[in-house]
Chains A and B, each alone.
Chain A
């Protein structure tokens, strides 16, 4: 009796969902973040549902199995636009974004009421590598001096500290590809001393990002500039929302997401910018680390380049943009602070351009190249630049390193455009769910 009462109460909780992102899976998160009754959590230990969103490449299936087994029972897995692993072929798969929130809630209710069994464990409950420690307490490989128990090197004081001389044991770990604070798909081998990054080796490049179809069309034929600029602003607002959530400004992240979903030529970003300034985002969080050298900035391109003072923007070569009086905005700093100021300034600029272009019904005129939100796309699509992290991150603290990664758009651009979600308005969506 008592248990059923507890289960009934638990079934009414916000559904804690841990997203494991596959290709192009992140777009659905923008919608789920605004859905009442769903809570996107950061750790698989805090989740009741594992949501695999987007296709996961076969070489990441083993990592996905390990992630799957980290969820505490009772839990279920839901596959959104993704093929279930062979062992989980009977799992629920949903491809319709409209149906996803309700499916997540139903799964949670079924788990709590006992109508659905917890997902089975896929891997044996043992360490991934054999125990190779020695000694009575088994904490060392060779005596107390290291070795590789469980296949990992001991935390050893083998490196000089690169910050202030306070040497702590170095710890080498593998991060990603499903760590939600990193770009989807990014995997790295990282050596840390305390919270200081000693070395960073990018092992898995982040998945290519899908851009809205209008950027692909702009390479085929003239497209309305208003549409192009609104798509650009949307992309940047969604990146900003991710970074704001990371820095603990959940409510402003939601403001940015709502703005991006209802974006039109009348939208303005000035109020969000003022709130960010007042709450100390630029001084306390995006406090100017992760400075790109000119070469690195050029390689990343786009906002990162212009935030480092490079006046590179393909839009200035387009006659239609020149008629709108377009000149690129640039910053000097080249660091996290400059990149977010640049992002906000460019969103604002895009909205103004969109407004004027719509009034004058202007179309882009240059079809051999397009400035995407990720950088210039001329003969080649913008390519993955995540290897610059190897030079950029050592010497930064964990928080600074993550803030730096979040401020950079490093993934390459996918050859496939973003599949448009349906046009349901945000207000309807939220009201219906509530």
Chain B
């Protein structure tokens, strides 16, 4: 009882967080090297050496930060990533937390991410971090509705708000085919909530690192880890919602999940490197004027398909 309902779920979530975040570093480094970054040390070692350096670096202070919020924000973002991973089903039986409302829980993770990222930028009490925080709120408000419509779309054929049911409902046909608009829209949501690549409005180079511009040492390590972990959690949810989760021939279910999550991760990281940062105003316009109507269409499509 204790093993199956407490120890195993906690172990699965923590192991996925740690290994997944490391793999994000490795894959991103490998993509960077393939695209022509100067070849230094191996991609396998780079995340570890950078992590070690951050552990040896002093955690700095700024002038009058909101200490509690500043130190808590990276940990909260990591906790949100862990919460998201906890509802990702690995097989019909291996599910850390099989809530009947797990889709709703994931929605709340997306909404709370906006709060936590704003907190991270605001509490540093420095200019560039604050601008990053402001910008992220604009982005967060924009992607959240798109995400909701897309996720309701996958809940309709399953007639359930439970990710395990959503996966089971894809036994005949994966949602990526059944609702062709869904996955592309959801990937954009993922880049938004992890502020990665084209939607990196919060921690971008033009803000010298944005909400993380004034952070150093272990808190920065936690923040980087949390961002990578959120990408992993997102890829788990995307694989469950659109790519049939554990479903697949020959291989065991959890292995299929790993493969599908790695594919989603690789696609996100590749987009992150290949597409420039979108100007914030253009980004918000794109979300409300183009992507939100598309998510309506996706939902109507899903509804019609469920009725027929």
Q: Is the CB of A72 within 8 A of B277?
A: no
Question: Which residues of chain B from 76 to 118 have a CB within 8 Å of any chain A CB?
Answer: none
Complex Cα gap A252–B135 (Å): 25
Which one of B35, B49, B131, B279 has the greatest number of beta carbons of chain A within 10 Å? B279
Stretch with Cβ within 8 A of B (4 or more), from A53-61, A224-232, A241-249, A409-417:
A241-249
Closest residue on chain B to residue A150 by CB atoms: B63
Q: How far is the CB of A433 from chain B (nearest CB, A)?
A: 7
- Chain A positions near chain B (C-beta within 8 angstroms): 6-7, 9-10, 12-14, 16, 34-38, 41-43, 45-46, 48, 70, 72-74, 112, 127, 150, 171, 173, 179-181, 192, 194-195, 244-251, 254-255, 258, 279-281, 284-285, 287, 397-400, 402-403, 430, 433-434
Say whether, besides A248-B198, A285-B279, A10 and B55 are in contact (CB < 8 Å).
Answer: yes
Q: Is the CB of A46 within 8 A of B279?
A: no
Complex Cα gap A402–B135 (Å): 15
Question: Which residues of chain B from 25 to 45 have a CB within 8 Å of any chain A CB?
Answer: 32, 35-41, 45
Write out the residue numbers on chain B whose beta carbons fall within 8 Å of the beta carbon of A38. 38
Q: How far is the CB of A337 from chain B (nearest CB, A)?
A: 11
Q: Is the CB of B53 within 8 A of A48?
A: yes
Write out the residue numbers on chain A whose beta carbons fall within 8 Å of the beta carbon of B282. 284, 287
Say whether, besides A43-B208, A45-B213, A399-B206, A279 and B275 are in contact (CB < 8 Å).
Answer: yes
Q: Is the CB of B38 within 8 A of A434?
A: yes
Q: A45-B214, A430-B39 are in contact. List 14 more A-B contacts (CB 8 A).
A: A6-B52, A13-B50, A46-B216, A73-B58, A74-B57, A171-B127, A180-B208, A194-B134, A248-B197, A250-B32, A254-B36, A284-B278, A285-B276, A399-B204
Say whether, besides A42-B213, A45-B214, A112-B53, A72 and B59 are in contact (CB < 8 Å).
Answer: yes
Q: Is the CB of A254 within 8 A of B37?
A: yes
B53, B128, B135, B274: which contacts A279 (Cβ < 8 A)?
A: B274
Q: Is the CB of B208 within 8 A of A10?
A: no
Q: Is the CB of A181 within 8 A of B208?
A: yes
Q: How far is the CB of A306 from chain B (nearest CB, A)?
A: 24
Complex Cα gap A14–B56 (Å): 14
Q: Is the CB of B209 within 8 A of A46?
A: yes
Q: Which 10 pairs between the two chains have the least Cβ-Cβ distance? A: A9-B52, A13-B49, A251-B35, A36-B40, A36-B38, A42-B208, A10-B53, A72-B216, A10-B52, A13-B53
**Interface check B217, CB cutoff 8 A:** yes
